[in-house]
Structures are given as structure tokens and as C-alpha cells.
């Protein structure tokens, strides 16, 4: 396999009565982000995620934010998870596991991922405030759960330290990007091998 010519890309369109989401993802990108979810704080989080992951990511969401941000945040997480799963395909050659212990000023976040085909979230990230600006901090867990289950990824996020909600949230998204960057990386020694003793992810 010529690793230079990998084409691990995906596009997901998800339309419901609540949201209209388009996600385009390129795993072997350069960290380019074009994000417009209608939720400013989520745009910021997805941008820092993209920079740390090295993916190229386009996200457009038109949602019922006049109700609140919940549907838009969750549905973007669903679509991004589906895009990751589609871009990985059979997962041949990937490292599969990735982790990061990421400091963001006083916050310290642990993220560990296993591209296992089994969506699971452990979220042990407490926030000292209910909101960051107008954004509900509880929606971060909703995003991560939607992403993990639709990507088929086992995801652990743990706050080791932190007392500023913005720093904690940003640390979580950056740590996820770093961990996924390692997990999706192709190991040239096993470029045609599915990384599972079962022979399938």
C-alpha cells in the first residue's frame, strides 16, 4: 500500500426535522477547519479538535437553536462519528489505540481511544459552571456520547485537574484530537492488516 495515496475521506449528510447537517472529513489532511454549526462555542471546540487531530474538517449545521443548542450539538456529534467510521472503512493498517494527557493552563485532561467497533463513553469530566457563555456545559458529554457511539469508538475522558470550564472543555476536545491522531495513524509494517485478533473491527 502506498501510504502517500491514502484516500480516507467521507461525507455524511444528516437531515431531520430538527437539524440539517453536512460533514466532510479527510483523515490525512493538514488540520484545515471550516466549521459553521450555528453554535459558536461548538465551532470553537471543533476547530481546536481539527488542529490537534490533523484532519481536514468541514461542518455545516442548520438547526433549531431557537429552542436550544441540544439538537445541533448532538446531531453534529452523530454525523462526525459516522464520518470517522466511514473514512476508516475496514481499519486496515491503523494503530487503533491512542491516548493523550493534555494540559490546558490549570486543566489537565486524559483522553484514551480504542477504534474497536464498539461505541462506548466514559465521561468523568466535571464542570464548575453550568454554562460557558450561553453554551450549556452538559452538552459536551452529549456530543462525546453521540460521537463515540456512531464512530464505533471506545472513548474515555477524565479530568485530572481544572477549575475553569472553558479550559476544561477545550482541553477535552484537544485531547480527543490528539488521541485520534495517533489511533488512526497507519503503521507501515501492518498496512494491510486489520488490527484485531478477531480479523475484523
Structural contact between residues 154 and 201, judged by C-beta atoms closer than 8 angstroms: no
Q: pTM of the entire structure?
A: 0.94
Q: Residue 152's domain is classified under what CATH number?
A: 3.30.230.40
Domain count, the chain: 1
**Domain limits at 160?**
3-190
pLDDT band of 2, cuts 50, 70, 90: very low
Structural contact between residues 114 and 95, judged by C-beta atoms closer than 8 angstroms: no
Residue 157 lies in a domain: yes
Residue 87 lies in a domain: yes
Query: How would you label 173-191 residue by residue, b for 16+ Cβ within 10 Å and e otherwise?
Result: bbbbbbbbbbbbbbeeeee
Residue 38 lies in a domain: yes
Over the chain, what is the mean pLDDT? 95
pLDDT at 193: 86
Residue 41 lies in a domain: yes
Tally of CB atoms within 10 A around 133: 8
User: How far apart, in whole angstroms, are the C-alpha atoms of residue 110 and residue 79?
Assistant: 24
pLDDT at 138: 98
User: From the centroid of its chain, how far is CA 97?
Assistant: 14
Tally of CB atoms within 10 A around 65: 16
Residue 153 lies in a domain: yes
Give pLDDT tens digits for 70-90: 999 999 999 999 999 999 999
Residue 129 lies in a domain: yes
Residue 198 lies in a domain: no
56-63 vs 97-104, strand pairing mode:
unpaired
- Flag the least confident range among 81-95, 146-160, 165-179, 186-200: 186-200
Give pLDDT tens digits for 104-162: 999 999 999 999 999 999 999 999 999 999 999 999 999 999 999 999 999 999 999 99
User: How far apart, in whole angstroms, are the C-alpha atoms of residue 144 and residue 124?
Assistant: 12
Amino acid at each position: 500500500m502506498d501510504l502517500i495515496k491514502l484516500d480516507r475521506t467521507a461525507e455524511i449528510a444528516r437531515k431531520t426535522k430538527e437539524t440539517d447537517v453536512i460533514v466532510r472529513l479527510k483523515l490525512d489532511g493538514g488540520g484545515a477547519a471550516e466549521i459553521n454549526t450555528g453554535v459558536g462555542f461548538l465551532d470553537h471546540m471543533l476547530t481546536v479538535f481539527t488542529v490537534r487531530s490533523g484532519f481536514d474538517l468541514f461542518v455545516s449545521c442548520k438547526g433549531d437553536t431557537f429552542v436550544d443548542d441540544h439538537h445541533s450539538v448532538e446531531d453534529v456529534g452523530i454525523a462526525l462519528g459516522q464520518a470517522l467510521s466511514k473514512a476508516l472503512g475496514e481499519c486496515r493498517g491503523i494503530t487503533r489505540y491512542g491516548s493523550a494527557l493534555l494540559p490546558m493552563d490549570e486543566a489537565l485532561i486524559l483522553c484514551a481511544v480504542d477504534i474497536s467497533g464498539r461505541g462506548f463513553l466514559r465521561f468523568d469530566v466535571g464542570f464548575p459552571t453550568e454554562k460557558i457563555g450561553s453554551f450549556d456545559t452538559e452538552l459536551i458529554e452529549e456530543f462525546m456520547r453521540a460521537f463515540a457511539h456512531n464512530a464505533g469508538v471506545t472513548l474515555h475522558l477524565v479530568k485530572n485537574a481544572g477549575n475553569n470550564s472553558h479550559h476544561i472543555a477545550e482541553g477535552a476536545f484537544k485531547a480527543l484530537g490528539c488521541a485520534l491522531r495517533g489511533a488512526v495513524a497507519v503503521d507501515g509494517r501492518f498496512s494491510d492488516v486489520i488490527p484485531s485478533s478477531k480479523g475484523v473491527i
